[in-house]
Amino acid sequence: QTVVTQEPSFSVSPGGTVTLTCGLSSGSVSTRNYPSWYHQTPGQAPRTLIYNTNTRSSGVPDRFSGSILGNKAALTITGAQADDESHYYCVLYTGSGIYVFGGGTKLTVL
């Protein structure tokens, strides 16, 4: 059973930069896993931030960026703002039509 790993929590200061990661229990993440990132605030449906590793969804500010860092997918937020405080989830395509979510990262801005 494939497990996708994310940091459970992270903290960043307003204006700071933070990088959240998304790993695979069975090896390295590559662009062929088509990493995508979503954020979710309480009581709301998730919203797409990044897809296909590094493509920003429509309307997403350019302070959000995606990449592959080492053997993981990464979401970097530069110039963090208070309303970036949210849960962030990555999803990886693992083949044969199957997708797996990471456990999510709770980002605190303080």
User: Which residues are at the interface with other proteins (CB under 8 A)?
Assistant: 1, 34, 36, 38, 40, 45-48, 51-52, 57, 87, 89, 91, 93, 96-104
Q: How far is the CB of 13 from other proteins (least distance, A)?
A: 25
Q: How far is the CB of 53 from other proteins (least distance, A)?
A: 10
HSE-CB of 25 using CA atoms within 13 angstroms: 9
Contact 63, 84 (CB under 8 A): no
Contact 63, 83 (CB under 8 A): no
Residue indicated by tokens 């990132």: 37
Q: Which is nearer to other proteins, 13 or 55 (CB)?
A: 55
Name, in order, each residue with C-beta under 8 angstroms of 67's C-beta and a sequence gap of 6 or more: 53, 54, 73, 74, 76
Contact 65, 82 (CB under 8 A): no
Q: Which is nearer to other proteins, 80 or 88 (CB)?
A: 88
Q: How far is the CB of 34 from other proteins (least distance, A)?
A: 4
Q: Which is nearer to other proteins, 40 or 67 (CB)?
A: 40
Q: How far is the CB of 20 from other proteins (least distance, A)?
A: 14
